[in-house]
Amino acid sequence: MTAAAKIMQQPGEALIEIHDLTVQFRTAGRAINAVRGIDLSIGPGESVAILGESGSGKSVTGKAVMGLINAPGKVSGSVRFAGRELVGLSETELQDVRGPGLAMVFQDSLDALNPVFSVGEQIMEILMVRLGWSREKSRAEAISLMQQVGIDSAEKRLSSYPHQFSGGMRQRICIAMAIALKPQLLIADEPTTALDVTVQAGILKLIAKLQRESGMALLFVTHDLAVARQVASYLVVMYAGRIVERGPIDALYARPAHPYTRALLNSNPGSVSHWSQLHPISGNPPDKTMVFTGCAFADRCPRAVSRCRAEAPALRQVAPGRDSRCHFAEELLDAH
Amino acid sequence: MYLTQPIPASPASTGARIKAYFAQTRLSLLVRSPIALISALVLIALVLIAVIGAPLALETANFQSLRLRFFPPFSLEHGWIYVLGADGLGRSMLAQLIVGARTSFIVAGAAVGLAAVVGTSIGMISGFVGGWVDAALMRVSDIIVTVPSLLLALAVLFVLEPSIFNLVAVLAVSRLPIYLRVARAQTLELRERVFVEASRAIGATNLRIIWRDIRPLVLPTVMTVSMLELASVMLAAAGLSFLGVGLQRPDVDWGTIVSEGREYLTRAWWATVFPGMAIVITALAANFLSNWLRASGDPLQAGALAAATARQEDALK
C-alpha cells in the first residue's frame, strides 16, 4: 500500500483492504499466474473500477475477493473486509460474509438465474433463508427490489421465469438479488459485456444510482474505458496480473502516467474522430506462466529501453494521489 | 406466456373463474395431450386394479383345475374370469394378472424408487464435492457394475431368506450405479453454471445449492431413466423368481407368470403373451408419461408445449 493511495482513501476507514493478493492456477505441472500481487483498498461508499484487457487478472481479482476461486486455483495474500481476514476462511465462514457483506453481479446474465424457478421465487428465497422473513414479507420486498432495479409491473413479473426476460432485464434481476441483503460492497464483473449498447447504458445508470443511494462500495471490473468512467470515481489499471496505474479516474484520463494506460486511451474508438487516428496496441499480453525480470509491458511498450527489461519497476507515487508502475512515469505526466 | 398468464381480474362467473384457474395448471396441459392423458389413465387403472382387484382375485388366482388346463382365451364358457384362458395348472390368467399387478408394482416401484432416490443423492453429492470423495464413490459404483447383478442377487438371496423385502433391496442395489452416474454427470456440468456461482456469491450453503440449483435440473433425466428401468426391473425380478430365489408361490408377479408360461410357449402362447403385454403396456405408459412430465416440468419447454397444443387445437377448428 503506497502512501498516496492511503491519503486518497483515508487510512483506517477502508472497508476492504487487499494486500499482496496472488492467485495461481497449478495444472499439469504448469503454474498460471493470474494475479501477481495486488494492493488495493476501498472505503465505504467508494466506487472503484478495475480496467484491463482479457487475461489481465481483473475478473480473477473480483472472484478472489468473493472467495470464489475453485481448485486448482490458489489464493494467497490478504483480503481484510470490515476488519476480518477473508483469505483462508472456510466455505461456511464465508457464507456469512457473502450477501450482507459482499455481493456479486456476473458477466453472463443469461445463465446467472436458475431456469426452473420463477424470478420472484429466487429473490424471495434469499430473504426467507437469510433473514428468516415470512413469505408475504419477502414477496413485498421482492416486488420493491424489482421496482428499484427498474422492472415494470413488478408484481406481475414476479411469477415469470428467467427465459421470459430479455438479457438486460435478467441482469436487472441479478442486480436485485445481489442487493437484496444490502451488501456493503458490490462486485460487478463486467455486468454489461453480454448486453447491447443501449441496454448497457441503462444498467450502468442503474448501478451508479443504486451505489449512490445505498452508499455501498462498488468494485467494477471492466475492459471498457467509457464504462469505467460512467460508474467509478477511482480507476485501477491492471496488466499481466499487476496494477500498473491507479488514481482518480478523471486525472488518469487527462494525464495517464503509464504507457499502457496511454496506449489504451489511444486505442479507444470513442476518443478519436477518424479511424486513422486509432492506435491499437501491437502484440499480445504476455504468457501467464512467465516470470518477469523487467517490466511486463516492455515488449509492447513504445518507450521501452534496456532498463525496462532489466529492472522491474515498482508501483510508486508519481504525483499526489497517483501511482504508476513505470520508470518514466514523471516524464509521461509532464508530456501532457 | 401461457403458463404464467394472470387470472383475469373480473371473470364473468364462478365457472369462468374456475376455468381460468384450471387453464393455468399442468392438468389442463395433460388433458390436451392425448398420449400423455391415455398413459396417465392406463397407469391409474392398473394401480386401481392392483389395489382393489388383487385381494378379491387372490383365491381364484391360486385355484387349480386339471379340467381347465390350457383353457384357451377369448371364451366365456367358464365365466369371464377365464376370458384370458388358463395356464398349465388350470389357473385363471386374468386372476393371476390382477394379483401379479400388485406384486409387480410393489417390487418394481419400491426397487426403482429406492435406487433412484439413493443413487441420485449420492451421485449429486459425489459430483458436487469432487476430489477423493467422488473418486471413492465412483469406484464403489464401478465394483457394483462389475459384479454381474444376477450373481450378486443370487448370492445375497441365497444367504438371506427370499422375501419381497430382500428382493427389493437386492434389485435396488444392483440398479444403483445408473442413477449415480447420470446424476453425477449432470451435476459436474451444472456446478460450473453461473447461477450456481451466483448462489454461492450470495451465501447459499452447499446443501441448499444441491437442493435448489442442482436437484431440480437433474430430476427430469433421473425420472426418465427410472421409467425405463421400471420394465427391466420387473423382468429382473422375474429372472430371480425363475431361478428360485425371487418370489415364491403363492406370491406371484408378472415376471413370474412370464417365466412359468415360457415352458408351454408352443402349446399355450397366452400364458406368456398376456403377462408380457402387461409389462410392455405399463412400461410404455410410464415412458410416455415421464416424457410429458419432463417437458411440462421445464418452464421453457412447458411454454412450447402449451403453444404447440394451442396450435393443434386451432388447426382442428
Q: ipTM of this predicted complex?
A: 0.84
Strands of A30-42's sheet in order across: A30-42, A16-27, A73-81, A84-85
pLDDT grade, residue A225 (50/70/90)?
A: confident
Residue A14 phi/psi, 5-degree rounding, is -65, 140
Cβ of B20 under 8 Å from any chain A Cβ? no
pLDDT for the residue B11 = 45
pLDDT at B244 exceeding the cut of 80 = no
Q: Which of B195, B202, B303 sits opposite A126 (nearest CB)?
A: B202
Say whether B217 and A98 touch across the interface (CB within 8 A). Answer: no
- Provide the shortest C-alpha distance from residue B101 to chain A (in Å): 35
Count of domains observed in chain A: 1
Question: Among B84, B120, B114, B101, which residue's Cα sits nearest to residue B219?
Answer: B120
> In this structure, what CATH number is given to the domain that contains residue B237?
1.10.3720.10
pLDDT at A294 exceeding the cut of 80 = yes
pLDDT for the residue A271 = 62
Cβ of A95 under 8 Å from any chain B Cβ? yes
d(CA A140, CA B38): 42
pLDDT for the residue A6 = 39
Which residues is B76 bridged to in the sheet? Answer: none
pLDDT for the residue B74 = 84
pLDDT in tens, A310-319: 888 989 898 8
* Residue B179, domain extent: 34-286
For B131, the closest chain A residue by CA position comes to: A71
For A112, the closest chain B residue by CA position comes to: B195
Three-state secondary structure of B250-309: CCCCHHHHHHHHHHHCCCCCHHHHHHHHHHHHHHHHHHHHHHHHHHHHCHHHHHHHHHHH
> What average pLDDT does this structure show over A279-292?
80
Say whether B299 and A161 touch across the interface (CB within 8 A). Answer: yes
Count of domains observed in chain B: 1
> What average pLDDT does this structure show over B189-195?
92
Helices A135-148, A119-131: axis angle to 10 degrees equals: 120
B281 against B317, higher pLDDT = B281
- Measure the CA angle with vertex A191, ends A80 and A89; round to 5°: 25
* Residue A233, domain extent: 3-89+226-335
A285-298: b (≥16 Cβ within 10 Å) or e: bbebeeebebbbbb
Q: What's the DSSP call for residue B213? A: I
Q: How far is CA B203 from the centre of its chain?
A: 37
pLDDT for the residue B317 = 65
Residue A91 with chain B: CB contacts under 8 Å = 206
- In single-letter form, the type of residue at position A103 comes to A
Does residue B135 sit in helix, strand or coil? helix
Whether residue A311 lies inside any domain: the answer is yes
Q: Name A227's Cβ contacts closer than 8 Å, sequence gap at least 6.
A: A49, A192, A200, A204, A220
pLDDT at A183 exceeding the cut of 90 = yes
Does residue A301 sit in helix, strand or coil? coil
pLDDT in tens, A65-113: 999 998 788 999 999 998 889 998 988 999 999 999 999 999 888 889 9
Does residue B247 sit in helix, strand or coil? coil
Question: Among A26, A63, A51, which residue's Cα sits nearest to residue A288?
Answer: A26
Q: Are B254 and B93 in contact (CB under 8 A)?
A: no
B147 against A235, higher pLDDT = A235
H/E element, A115: none
What pTM did the predictor assign? Answer: 0.80
pLDDT for the residue B23 = 59
Whether residue A309 lies inside any domain: the answer is yes
Residue B197 with chain A: CB contacts under 8 Å = 68, 106, 112
pLDDT at A2 exceeding the cut of 60 = no
pLDDT in tens, B12-62: 566 666 666 655 666 777 777 888 889 999 999 999 998 888 888 777 777
pLDDT for the residue B8 = 46
- Provide the shortest C-alpha distance from residue B222 to chain A (in Å): 16
Question: Among A314, A298, A330, which residue's Cα sits nearest to residue A244?
Answer: A314
B250 against B172, higher pLDDT = B172
Whether residue A182 lies inside any domain: the answer is no
The runs of H, that is alpha helices, within A43-184 are: 58-66, 91-97, 119-131, 135-148, 154-157, 167-179
Q: Which three cell numbers stand for residue A76?
A: 494467497
d(CA B104, CA A79): 61
pLDDT in tens, B89-126: 878 888 888 988 888 888 889 999 999 999 999 999 99
Q: Name A204's Cβ contacts closer than 8 Å, sequence gap at least 6.
A: A192, A227, A230, A231
Q: What is the mean pLDDT of chain B?
A: 82
> What average pLDDT does this structure show over B191-200?
92
Instruction: Spell out where chain B has E strands.
Output: none
pLDDT for the residue B2 = 46
Question: Among A102, A75, A91, which residue's Cα sits nearest to residue B206?
Answer: A91
Q: Name B227's Cβ contacts closer than 8 Å, sequence gap at least 6.
A: B283, B286, B287, B289, B290
Q: Which of A94, A116, A177 sits opposite B298 (nearest CB)?
A: A116
Q: Which of A99, A116, A118 sits opposite B203 (nearest CB)?
A: A99
pLDDT at B255 exceeding the cut of 50 = yes
Q: Name B216's Cβ contacts closer than 8 Å, sequence gap at least 6.
A: A114, A116, A117
Residue B6 with chain A: CB contacts under 8 Å = 156, 159
Residue B15 CB burial class (10 angstroms; 0-12, 13-18, ≥19): exposed
Cβ of A104 under 8 Å from any chain B Cβ? yes
Whether residue A297 lies inside any domain: the answer is yes
Whether residue A294 lies inside any domain: the answer is yes
Q: Are B270 and B73 in contact (CB under 8 A)?
A: yes
pLDDT grade, residue A205 (50/70/90)?
A: very high
> What average pLDDT does this structure show over A256-262?
90
pLDDT for the residue A325 = 92
Q: What's the DSSP call for residue B9? A: S
pLDDT for the residue B12 = 52
Pairing mode, strands A185-189 and A217-222:
parallel
Q: What is the dihedral of CA B290, B292, B295, B299, to 10 degrees?
A: -110
pLDDT at A336 exceeding the cut of 80 = no
> What average pLDDT does this structure show over B251-258?
83
User: What percentage of chain A reaches a pLDDT higher than 90?
Assistant: 51
d(CA A228, CA B239): 69
Residue B164 CB burial class (10 angstroms; 0-12, 13-18, ≥19): middle
Whether residue A139 lies inside any domain: the answer is no
Q: What is the mean pLDDT of chain A?
A: 88
pLDDT for the residue A14 = 87
Q: Are A39 and A182 in contact (CB under 8 A)?
A: no
Residue A91 CB burial class (10 angstroms; 0-12, 13-18, ≥19): exposed
Whether omega for the bond prior to residue A72 falls within 30 degrees of 0, making it cis, is: yes
How many beta carbons lie within 10 A of that of residue B161, not counting itself? 9
How many beta carbons lie within 10 A of that of residue A180, not counting itself? 24
> In this structure, what CATH number is given to the domain that contains residue A66?
3.40.50.300
d(CA B211, CA B206): 9
- Rg (Cα) of chain A, in Å, rounded? 21
Whether residue A188 lies inside any domain: the answer is no
pLDDT for the residue B22 = 58
B10 against A238, higher pLDDT = A238
User: What percentage of chain B reaches a pLDDT higher than 90?
Assistant: 24
